[in-house]
Structure 1
């Protein structure tokens, strides 16, 4: 018995050390390339004479392309393997993200943001699906939390870097700082995509760095869990009311995440900070707190098994933070504190959410169901920034938009408590 436990532990430890840090870095740049337009906005809008509403639509239209191609992309990944397909995704999105540096009109802005969504479609749900090939549900909460910590870390590290790039590179070789921002932050994605093709292993059975007993132990755990899954076909997943309920929960959480992600630099700068570098460092504060909170809550979710509660409670914290940041918008210190609470809550709820659908979806149902939940939920990435832009243009304040976003997150928290108890096992 002791030898079996040792084999199980060593196999998962090896898999975690090899897979998770690398995927973490990949997702770090994926999220950075997705939301760095929030920092580019600080100067891009005035240079190109774009309105706040145009920016909001352009930032959000990414998710229309993402929505259309999400499910097909994940089904292709399930057939051809994660190694090939995720590598393709990363290289193409890196190229398109760099091309953002050369937009000259709203139309070009819309087209490239749409194409960026098409290119990246399938990356995140593909990684979530890929992790189900390696970890049973009882281990997946902390693994997904570690992987998704790349979101707050991209803000923690990426925000200061983005601010420094804007300040230091402006005018270099005739390009504005926001243009260099897109180019410099896109290059790592292309490089990592090539490395990923040679580094990842699609399934445990193909991992030469695992021993035969370690492979057998992992596959036995996954096979035992597969017998408990209710759905095994794409059609079954698409008609499962639980999948649609989870889509609504995810939509509400994403309203908060993208409302914060695309507008946080603007909110911070409007609080009185003038230097882009300082804005970058102040913006990093909420993401630092969110990184720590996410890891703590991920461990707690695995230890207690109360996964619904670990989604709902952080979401409520996000609601309180969003409302507070609107009420105290004129006080920079209180506003940043509230934004920190909002970021902690929304991003943690987002990470822990993904332990819910994988508790009852298996096989092609997992590929299609996870992709559908992600694509429907990410429509919030279109609605949230566009709505904020419209409201800010109309009211000259972001506070009313923050209240609307808070209401969406609160609904998500309430719906999370209605997810069947099967996810808590």
Structure 2
């Protein structure tokens, strides 16, 4: 049995995880490349820091509204069709960011409100992708493997900045072609992979193990049997309907934890290029230096997820990185020296990203089926409201005070609050250790 387990997990890991990493890499790059575009876009469109922060964050309001319905539709229609639909629509709308001046002229909305409009539509288009993938992974990987697998998948977040930052920086220098500014070319070129991948997803993904012709019969039998045993084990403790999962106190508590974690991520990522540019660097060097915390984040995310699976512990492995994230962000405000500030933010980068893959083992330990699809979507949608609140607060505080320090301290406080909630909620490890056979 050990041999078929190792063979099966290895095969599905090689087939599914790298491909989903590429998809999420493109998704995340299209979501946050507005931070790099802002280096020249804000001046061209006449956006204040408050307006930029509001527009960057309003993406998540639409994301919040459509998240749960989208994930329930994915559970109903299957990942292959629904994820392909998501990627096609967000690719088109991400490219439409280049058309903001044109949209402003035709609608009369002006540049600022046209910026808000496209960001709202992009949020609606992308809603359901991330929680859908987290739910999809629960259909393929037993609980004991999930922290490391989610870690590999979510490594696409920091990698999208490590690799995408210099690419975005180089694209900003593409001025004049077809009358487009560099920031417009950035949006157009970085939207193309999402549109292409939509077609690949439709033909490449398999909805569930029982449909996997690329697994041998004994591999399919082992995997479906193991996942069924784990599901029955959870449901013996308590089985949730979709409606119950939406209002479950533990789901709400985890949503608040994720809110704090997301706030530290997006609040920093949308403004980090502008913080680094204030060091006096040119645009390309700004994008290179901005990638440093994300290099640390990639390492932390993969290593910490593996460590959590190895020692079979979750609560500390979520709480400790949240503390590190908060401490690194807070300490960075004490330094004017660029080197010391970036060292502090690199420390924060470890915490920001290391907590994420382990966090997603918490809801999947007690939710299953449609309830898992709904619960994961609720947690992700509420948590991602911080993607609106964090950038908007950062921009408003910067405009009011002339400094990013107040906004960074707010992000650190939210990280500490999330850490406290994790410690209070605890975690039932027994739910992740169903018997291998019945």
- Shorter-chain TM-score tier: over 0.9
Tell me the residue number matched to 2:277.
269
Tell me the residue number matched to 1:385.
391
Measured in 1, the distance between the counterparts of 2:278 and 2:230 equals 50
Measured in 1, the distance between the counterparts of 2:364 and 2:414 equals 24
Measured in 1, the distance between the counterparts of 2:248 and 2:44 equals 48
Deviations 1:219-269 (A, max 9, x none): 111011101223331112123211011000000111101011111111111
Measured in 2, the distance between the counterparts of 1:290 and 1:193 equals 28
The question of 1:189 aligning with 2:191 is answered no
The question of 1:300 aligning with 2:307 is answered yes
Measured in 1, the distance between the counterparts of 2:384 and 2:373 equals 16
Runs of 5+ consecutive residues of structure 2 not aligned to the other structure: 102-110, 433-438
The question of 1:253 aligning with 2:261 is answered yes
Q: 1:26-425 counterparts in 2 under 5 A?
A: 26-104=23-101, 105-167=111-173, 169-229=174-234, 230-273=238-281, 275-328=282-335, 330-423=336-429, 425=432
What is the aligned-residue RMSD (CA, Å)? 1.0
Tell me the residue number matched to 2:108.
none
Q: Secondary structure at the match of 1:340?
A: helix
Measured in 1, the distance between the counterparts of 2:41 and 2:256 equals 33
Q: Alpha-carbon deviation of 1:182?
A: 0.4
Measured in 1, the distance between the counterparts of 2:278 and 2:322 equals 26
- Alignment check: 8 A CA contact 2:328 2:346 kept: yes
Measured in 1, the distance between the counterparts of 2:272 and 2:177 equals 27
Q: Secondary structure at the match of 1:134?
A: coil
Q: Alpha-carbon deviation of 1:164?
A: 1.0
Runs of 5+ consecutive residues of structure 1 not aligned to the other structure: none
- Alignment check: 8 A CA contact 1:250 1:374 kept: yes
Q: Secondary structure at the match of 1:360?
A: coil
Measured in 2, the distance between the counterparts of 1:286 and 1:63 equals 23
Q: Alpha-carbon deviation of 1:419?
A: 2.0
Measured in 2, the distance between the counterparts of 1:218 and 1:156 equals 35
Measured in 2, the distance between the counterparts of 1:177 and 1:63 equals 25
State the aligned residue count: 419
- Alignment check: 8 A CA contact 1:260 1:343 kept: no
Tell me the residue number matched to 2:4.
7
Q: Alpha-carbon deviation of 1:423?
A: 4.5
Measured in 2, the distance between the counterparts of 1:337 and 1:103 equals 36
